[in-house]
Amino acid sequence: MPFVAHFIDAFASILGQVLGLYTWVLIIRAVISWVNPDPWNPIVQFLCRVTDPVLQPIQKLLPPWRLGIDISPIVAILAIQFIQQWLVPSLREVASMLQ
């Protein structure tokens, strides 16, 4: 079963890195939203296209705070951190048990 163990370990490693990268994309999107960006800018369009599928369901569940502050990026980042701290180590532990 070493092949399966190595596959699971590699998947956990890639998942952790992708989640870390996506966290930075969410942070950049949140910072850019503070300055009222040009919606026709290709970078802004890319950021919206990549983050909207995660942020929109959260925005539907959580209304904006009193001053119009959108906390959906914070909620999404906390969820990603939970996944990174729980799922990735769990996958690595499964991989180590299979070796």
pTM: 0.87
Q: pLDDT 10s per residue in the chain (99 long)? A: 788 999 999 999 999 999 999 999 999 999 998 898 899 999 999 999 999 999 999 999 987 777 778 899 999 999 999 999 999 999 999 999 988
10 Å CB burial of residue 72 (0-12, 13-18, 19+) is buried
Q: How far apart are CA 98 and CA 5, in angstroms?
A: 5
* Cβ within 8 Å of residue 79, ≥6 positions away: none
